Amino acid sequence: MLNINDIFYSIQGESSFAGYPCRFIRLAGCNIKCSYCDSKEALNSAYSMNMDIEGILNALNNAGGKNVKLIEVTGGEPLIQENVYRLFEELLKLNYLVLLETNGTINLRKVPEKVIKIVDIKCPSSGFSNRFDYENLNYINETDEIKFVIGTDNDYDFAVDFLNKEKLKTKRIIFSAVSAVMPLKKLALKILENELNVRLGIQLHKILMLK
């Protein structure tokens, strides 16, 4: 069984898959509480449904987009629920392209290799920049993505310093701005000024006023 906050069909708003139709499974519960969290309803199980794998797959098909093979498992933090690994396996058996959005604090060794991991490196303004599990760098491959959510100049410097210090296997790096705190244009100009080979993350779903 898994605690599910929501299952829905929408446009992928972030990552290198932004703009593609996607089906989402949002799990309930999180092991941290970031200052800027925009999915507070998924932070605990108060607003969740307890569902088995079969029920999740049925709800997924009823949510729309039956021909869409892109699925994202998100949260909250999906990896705090042990049965999520069985969910990954079942989705892969059905030939879905599976994305995992994770906060980087939980070890990734049990995540199937075919799952594309979008790993958040928490910056100082989150309040959890000391919680990243550095062993996870061993499990991030060239098809995975690393994201920094940036709300302050200090966050930006932290992210740049991380990239300079760590040898990453992926070149898919995203700098996203904390909404209403870090202006997108300011972040874009800083990326241009420093000639960073990173992707500016724009929350497309919010611009479109979608889930």
pLDDT at position 179 is: 83
- Please give the pLDDT value at position 178: 94
In the DSSP assignment, the letter for residue 66 is: T
pTM value is 0.96
**String of b and e for 133-151 (b: at least 16 CB within 10 Å)?**
eeebbebbeeebbbbbbbb
Closest CA to 172 of 144, 204, 208: 144
Rg for the chain (alpha carbons), in Å? 17
The Cβ of residue 34 has, within 10 Å, a number of other Cβ atoms equal to 21
What's the number of CA atoms in the CB half-sphere (13 Å) around residue 120? 29
Tokens 């972030």, located at residue: 14
Mean pLDDT by 10 residues, the chain (211 residues): 96 95 97 87 85 97 95 97 98 98 98 98 96 97 98 98 97 94 96 98 91 84
Q: Counting Cβ atoms within 10 Å, is residue 50 exposed (0-12), middle (13-18) or buried (19+)?
A: exposed
Contacts of 80 (CB under 8 A, 6+ apart): 29, 30, 31, 106
At 47 the pLDDT is 79
pLDDT in tens, 52-66: 999 999 999 999 999
Burial string for 59-95 (b: 16+ CB within 10 Å, else e) reads bbeebebeeeebbbbbbbbbbbbeebeebbeebbeee
End-to-end CA distance of the chain: 24
CB of 27 within 8 A of CB of 85?
no
pLDDT, residue 44, reads: 84
Pair of tokens at residue 112:
């199937």
- In contact, 140 and 146? CB cutoff 8 Å: yes
Cβ atoms < 10 Å from Cβ of 54:
9
Per-residue pLDDT at 102: 98
Residue 98 has a pLDDT of 98
pLDDT of residue 171: 97
What are the structural domains, with CATH classification, of the chain? 2-207 (3.20.20.70)
pLDDT in tens, 19-42: 999 999 999 999 998 988 878 888
